[in-house]
Amino acid sequence: MNPLDDLFREGLGDRKAEVPADLWQKIAARKEAIPAGEALDHLFADRLARRQAPVPAGMWDRIAAARRRTPWPAYALATFLLVLAALTLFLWARPQVPQPEPTALRNANSAAFPLTAPAANAATTNAKAGVVSSSEMPPPPDRPYPAVSPAHTAPTPTRTAAPVVASTTLDVPPPALATAVSALPVTLSLVVVAPLPLPELSAHPTTPGFRALGSNRLRGEVLLGAAYAHQRFTLREGESRAVRDAREVSEFPELSYQLTARLQYRLGQRWSLHSGLTYAEIRNQLEYDALRNGVMTLVRRNNHLRLLEVPVLAGYDLSRGRLRLSLNAGPVANLFTAVGGQYLDPNQGEPRDLASSGHYRGNVGLGWTASLTTTYTLGASHATQLLLEPFFKSYPRSFTHPGAPLGEHYWMAGLQLGLRRAF
Amino acid sequence: MLSMKEKEMIEGSLRGEERCQRALFERYAPLLMGVCQRYCRTQAEAEDVLQDTFVRLFAKLNHYGFQGSFAGWARRLCVNVALKTYQRKRFSLEQTGLDDVPEHGGAPTAYTDLGEQELLDLIRQLPDGYRIVFNLYAIEGYSHKEIGQQLGIQEASSRSQLLKARKLLQQQIERRQRIAI
């Protein structure tokens, strides 16, 4: 035993220190009963209800930027104006039907033609084999001479005269050659200069009277496009309000898409019929927080609705030419619908599977669609066309059965790109 | 009752004058930030809610109609934005029990000495559901029926969440006080 230990043990072992007289009062004062119930509420409310907190720097700039982010009315107006301008442009750009020439000019031409017609007629006849076949067309009843396309009259008289001269040398005896050649430029220049209105052949090859459509009536087209699919829930039972609220705040649209293969059958100059097969996938994202290993984790899952359907559209050409605009509309018959993914049910501890819930139909019946197709003809053969098609599609029926707690409706709007090919 | 200056600020904001909108922001942002901090677990979330609140406030300013207190109207709007954000981003399947609440790490303090920041910290440590219901009932003064409608839950659930929130807060205060003594 250490003597030092003994010294302290003997000296301090039984020592009772003095307790301050007010110690108990101090403890009692600190050990007040912790408020409960309404009193606890008041404790927090009194100190926090009107509490002001410092606002982080740059918050106003964030708000100003966020307010500028979604000018939907401006977008809508701009889109409307753009479509309106495109429509106006296309309608004005249609091939113009020639106006009847002024009487004075017609008389002038009539006066001029008796002088030049024989030579011109001879020249045209001689040039038939080597130059153009336009003179094979029967002359219209109100026109004394065959119409020639402006495109065909575009070459200069000198260039046009060359084959004429060549053919003339075969028909005209040598002594008359010099006279014929000297007369031809004058005659031809009169023919070219004469402002003949040439409506029939100046139009596009698909004008009446030139039925090139026969072989191009049936065309195949393939389109692929992205779309926004708007999801809307409707309440069927009062108790399902919580489910609807949970789904509305946990499911967000993703980029949907559709792929279409269809045939176009032209019914006339402007009308056409389109039908085929469309595969569409409506995509949503489910987001929720789940407690995993004591840590709150954001979970994201993809939901999808897969649709196979047959569109039957009537098309009407709003404009003609290389760049065309057509309006299409018609029903969409749904053949098959499949659903995949999960949803949140506040009454369940885990997300529920959409397919096994038994709430979804296998077929949603008829929908309808409308689209505005811009067509650009590629190449000289006119066999291939490039398509740009904004479209809208709506399904009036709910994707869920009538017995399901929620109705689920969709509409889609998107843009398709595609190719059309004549057979 | 609105002061003339407040009325001018609101009317100017309705006309789209940025100067007035900024003045309105500077006047009410601290109050609304205080509300946001009570409903959100983190400062970043609170800032997001404050931003959304002002975006919505300027968009819906014509609905105010100069009826009643503007601060009260803005505060209700802020609470609604916070609830919507909570439902959208924080929809949680957590089944947090009392044992899951973390130990409070603050300095030992008797409850009478608890300041605003300590009380705020206690509220922000509550699980989401408890925190929302406690805020709505104890501080905003909503009834259980109104809370049920706002959150899409039963009145009984609201009562139950409130009781659990109070119990958790009491436990946390008691723990601090015990250490302090």
Domains detected in chain B: 4-89 (1.10.1740.10), 98-180 (1.10.10.10)
Phi, psi of A293 (to 5 degrees): 55, 40
The interface residues of chain A toward chain B in range 17-56, judged by CB-CB distance below 8 A, are 27, 30-32, 34-37, 40-41, 43-45, 47-56
**Which chain A residues touch B34 with a CB distance below 8 Å?**
48, 50-53
Name the 3-class secondary structure at A61.
helix
CA dist A131 and B73 (Å) reads 85
For an interface test with A, which of B18, B25, B51 has the most A Cβ atoms less than 10 Å from its Cβ? B51
Q: What is the DSSP letter of A400?
A: B
The answer to whether residue A159 neighbours chain B at the CB level (below 8 Å) is no
Phi, psi of A411 (to 5 degrees): -135, 155
Kindly report, residue by residue over B96-107, the tens digit of the pLDDT: 444 444 544 555
CA dist A49 and B71 (Å) reads 12
| Residue A385 neighbours by CB under 8 Å, 6+ apart | A219, A375, A376, A377, A378, A419, A420, A421
Phi-psi region of A376 (alpha: psi -120 to 50; beta: other; left: phi over 0): beta
- What are the domain boundaries of chain A? 118-202, 212-422
pLDDT < 70 positions in chain A: 1, 12-16, 23, 25-32, 68-72, 89-216, 237-239, 349
The interface residues of chain A toward chain B in range 293-312, judged by CB-CB distance below 8 A, are 294, 296
Say if the Cβ atoms of A249 and B91 lie within 8 Å. Answer: yes
Strands (E), A161-270: 218-235, 251-253, 255-266
The CATH number of the structural domain formed by A212-422 is 2.40.160.20
Least Cα separation, residue A13 to chain B (angstroms): 27
B76 pLDDT more than 60:
yes
Instruction: Give the pair of three-digit tokens for residue A400.
Output: 């869920």
8 A C-beta contact, residue A139 and residue A226? no
Q: What is the DSSP letter of A360?
A: B
Name the 3-class secondary structure at A26.
helix
Measured in whole angstroms, the distance separating CA B180 from the mean position of its chain's CA atoms is: 29
Note every long-range contact of B140-149, with CB atoms under 8 Å and residues 24 or more positions apart, other chains counting: B140/B75, B140/B79
Say if the Cβ atoms of B119 and A37 lie within 8 Å. Answer: no
8 A C-beta contact, residue A287 and residue A311? no
| Residue B109 neighbours by CB under 8 Å, 6+ apart | B118, B176, B177, B180
Residue of B nearest to A55 (CA): B30
The answer to whether residue B111 neighbours chain A at the CB level (below 8 Å) is yes
8 A C-beta contact, residue B25 and residue A60? yes
| Residue A57 neighbours by CB under 8 Å, 6+ apart | none
CA dist A20 and B9 (Å) reads 62
The answer to whether residue A372 neighbours chain B at the CB level (below 8 Å) is no
The answer to whether residue A246 neighbours chain B at the CB level (below 8 Å) is yes
Q: Identify the CA nearest to A311 among candidates A365, A338, A274, A265.
A: A274
From the list A40, A48, A52, which residue is nearest B169 (CB)? A40
What pLDDT is recorded for position B106? 54
Kindly report, residue by residue over A351-385, the tens digit of the pLDDT: 888 988 888 999 999 999 999 999 888 877 777 88
Least Cα separation, residue B3 to chain A (angstroms): 19
CA dist A390 and A372 (Å) reads 6
Kindly report, residue by residue over B25-35, the tens digit of the pLDDT: 999 999 999 99
H or E segment at A268?
none
Residue of A nearest to B91 (CA): A288
Measure the CA angle with vertex B77, ends B59 and A290; round to 5°: 110
Phi, psi of A186 (to 5 degrees): -65, -45
What pLDDT is recorded for position B1? 58
Phi, psi of A273 (to 5 degrees): -125, 135
CA dist B88 and A234 (Å) reads 19
Least Cα separation, residue B57 to chain A (angstroms): 11
**Which chain B residues touch A41 with a CB distance below 8 Å?**
137-139, 166
CA dist A341 and A204 (Å) reads 53
Q: Which of A369-378, B89-98, B144-153, B170-179 is least confident?
A: B89-98
Q: Identify the CA nearest to A96 among candidates A154, A150, A153.
A: A150
Say if the Cβ atoms of B38 and A56 lie within 8 Å. Answer: no
Beta bridge partners of A391: A371, A414
What pLDDT is recorded for position A255? 92
The answer to whether residue B82 neighbours chain A at the CB level (below 8 Å) is no
Longest CA span, chain A: 162
Say if the Cβ atoms of B169 and A44 lie within 8 Å. Answer: yes
The interface residues of chain A toward chain B in range 319-348, judged by CB-CB distance below 8 A, are 344, 346
Instruction: Give the pair of three-digit tokens for residue A303.
Output: 């939901």
Query: What ipTM describes this predicted complex?
Result: 0.76
Phi, psi of A295 (to 5 degrees): -115, 135
Name the 3-class secondary structure at A284.
strand
Instruction: Give the pair of three-digit tokens for residue B81.
Output: 């934005």
